[in-house]
Amino acid sequence: MAKLTVKDVELTGKKVLVRVDFNVPLKDGVITNDNRITAALPTINYILEQGGRAILFSHLGRVKEAADKAGKSLAPVAKALSEKLGKAVVFTGTTRGAELEAAIDALKDGEILLVENTRFEDIDGKKESKNDPELGKYWASLGDGIFVNDAFGTAHRAHASNVGISANVDKAVAGFLLENEIAYIQEAVEAPVRPFVAILGGSKVSDKIGVIENLLSKADKVIIGGGMTYTFLKAQGIEIGDSLVEADKLDIAKELLAKADGKLILPVDSKEANAFAGYTEIKDTDGDAIDPGFLGLDIGPKSIAKFDAELTGAKTVVWNGPMGVFENPDFQAGTIGVMDSIVKQPGVKSIIGGGDSAAAAINLGYAEKFSWISTGGGASMELLEGKVLPGLASLTEK
């Protein structure tokens, strides 16, 4: 990678500022998925082993006003991190001020501190999210001139705690997670071993227009599944019953189909039900059309077989978005079928783009079978779209 990495800087005895993405799901104060914490451990451990004093920053959720702070403290994350590291994590519950500064000054080599949720600074004028120059400068002043950005999940944001700190230090470098995420996803898209097949699902076309466009120009095939299928079908005049549709995206869907020149591969059947929840009938459609009064909630068996054939021999596969309502076991078969088809290809480099697809792979027991599962939802999407990520662009060139 063209940017300096954590291996390129001297860390011993230094107060090292580190941006991680600990924006983890919490339910009643309990972390329900700690992947993002686990994924940051190699960088944190490396800094501590080198004798650095690690000062960690992360956001958690979105905070607009004081009331939004409830349940968004990083205190449970500090506890979970301490357990994973097997050492104390200093946590003052503040984002600035004398108490935080004293705790940082008291750190010894190999010790670690977690700053409170950076978005608590959003209450008073969106200082974090609007990259207030004073805030980035202040946070940068807490360290010794080195900033390690390992927050891939936040790399598509230009906030004070990533680009703001980068702008005010001697060296802003990538951590191992950020480096790996970029290497896997960017290389898959920009320099893929072919055949390169992209699979896009999830609920909405509107979220993925840029991704579809970019991947149509880079991949050999782009397979479409999930809720967005039905906007593409309706755009061709096919009956879709009560399925999810974005009426204002029908023209774009038509344009994409025309531009794709046969590269865009759509399901040929669906699993349909007579309601999204509380349905009394489920069946497979005969062809691509959905029956009146029904909605398509998964791809059907013929589509699973078709996608399996399309994936045969693939050497690079990028997958983003489930093939159906995978949270419900009645509509998981398409997502499972596609995962089976991906992971059985010999020598395939298989990458999951993050968000719901990552959750599906992990919850359905496929995590170990993929080459890479991204910790970024929006960030991985923007990378697949070919966009420049500010969190990466702001790092120091090699």
Ligand X SMILES: O=C(O)[C@H](O)COP(=O)(O)O
Q: Which residues are annotated as a binding site for substrate?
A: 21-23, 36, 59-62, 119, 157
Selected binder of ligand X within 5, 9, 21, 228 (CB under 6 A): 21
Least distance CB 285 / ligand ATP (angstroms): 12
C-alpha distances (whole Å) from 125 to each of 59, 65, 128, 342 are 16, 10, 9, 46
| Residue 62 partner contact from ligand X, ligand ATP, none using kind-dependent CB cut-offs of 5 to 8 Å | ligand X
- Tell me whether residue 192 or residue 354 sits nearer to ligand X (CB atom): 354
Residue 25 contacts ligand X per CB under 6 A: no
Query: Residue 99 burial by CB count (10 A; 0-12/13-18/19+): exposed, middle or buried?
Result: exposed
210-241 burial, b at 16+ Cβ within 10 Å, e below that, comes to ebbbbbbebbebbbbbbbbbbbbbbbeeeebb
Tell me which stretch binds ligand X (CB under 6 A): 3-11, 37-45, 150-158, 269-277: 150-158
- Tell me whether residue 165 or residue 290 sits nearer to ligand ATP (CB atom): 290
How are beta strands 295-299 and 282-284 bridged, if at all? unpaired
Report the 3 state secondary structure along the chain: CCECEHHHCCCCCCEEEEECCCCCCEECCEECCCHHHHHHHHHHHHHHHCCCEEEEECCCCCCCCHHHHCCCCCHHHHHHHHHHHCCCEEECCCCCCHHHHHHHHCCCCCCEEECCCHHHHHCCCCCCCCCCHHHHHHHHHCCCCEEEECCHHHCCCCCHHHHHHHCCCCEEEECHHHHHHHHHHHHHHHCCCCCEEEEECCCCCCCCHHHHHHHHHHCCEEEECCCCHHHHHHHCCCCECCCCCCHHHHHHHHHHHHHHCCCEECCCCEEEECCCCCCCCEEECCCCCECCCCEEEEECHHHHHHHHHHHCCCCEEEEECCCCCCCCHHHCHHHHHHHHHHHCCCCCEEEECCCHHHHHHHHCCCHHHCCEECCCCHHHHHHHCCCCCHHHHCCCEC
Q: According to CB under 6 A, which residues from 184 to 213 bind ligand ATP?
A: 202-204, 207
- Tell me whether residue 46 or residue 279 sits nearer to ligand ATP (CB atom): 279
- Tell me whether residue 52 or residue 153 sits nearer to ligand X (CB atom): 153
Residues tagged in the binding site annotation = 21-23, 36, 59-62, 119, 157, 208, 296, 327, 354-357
What is the contact mask toward ligand ATP in residues 232 to 271, using x (rule: CB under 6 A)? ------------x---------------------------
Helices 35-49 and 75-85 cross at an angle (nearest 10°) of 60
Selected binder of ligand ATP within 136, 143, 354, 391 (CB under 6 A): 354
Tell me which stretch binds ligand X (CB under 6 A): 2-10, 152-160, 231-239, 319-327: 152-160
- Tell me whether residue 132 or residue 242 sits nearer to ligand X (CB atom): 132
Q: According to CB under 6 A, which residues from 281 to 310 bind ligand ATP?
A: 296-297
Residue 337 contacts ligand ATP per CB under 6 A: no
Least distance CB 119 / ligand X (angstroms): 8
Residue 321 contacts ligand ATP per CB under 6 A: yes
Selected binder of ligand ATP within 267, 300, 322, 337 (CB under 6 A): 322
Selected binder of ligand X within 238, 378, 385, 386 (CB under 6 A): 378
Tell me which stretch binds ligand X (CB under 6 A): 8-16, 153-161, 326-334, 365-373: 153-161
- Tell me whether residue 262 or residue 292 sits nearer to ligand ATP (CB atom): 292
Q: Note the Cα 389 to chain centre separation in Å.
A: 13
| Residue 23 partner contact from ligand X, ligand ATP, none using kind-dependent CB cut-offs of 5 to 8 Å | ligand X
Least distance CB 137 / ligand ATP (angstroms): 33
Q: According to CB under 6 A, which residues from 4 to 43 bind ligand ATP?
A: none
Selected binder of ligand X within 3, 18, 23, 317 (CB under 6 A): 23
Residues tagged in the binding site annotation for (2R)-3-phosphoglycerate = 36, 119, 157
Q: Which residues are catalytic?
A: 36, 204, 355, 378
Q: Name the site residues for ligand ATP (rule: CB under 6 A).
A: 202-204, 207, 226-227, 244, 296-297, 320-322, 324-325, 327, 354-357, 377
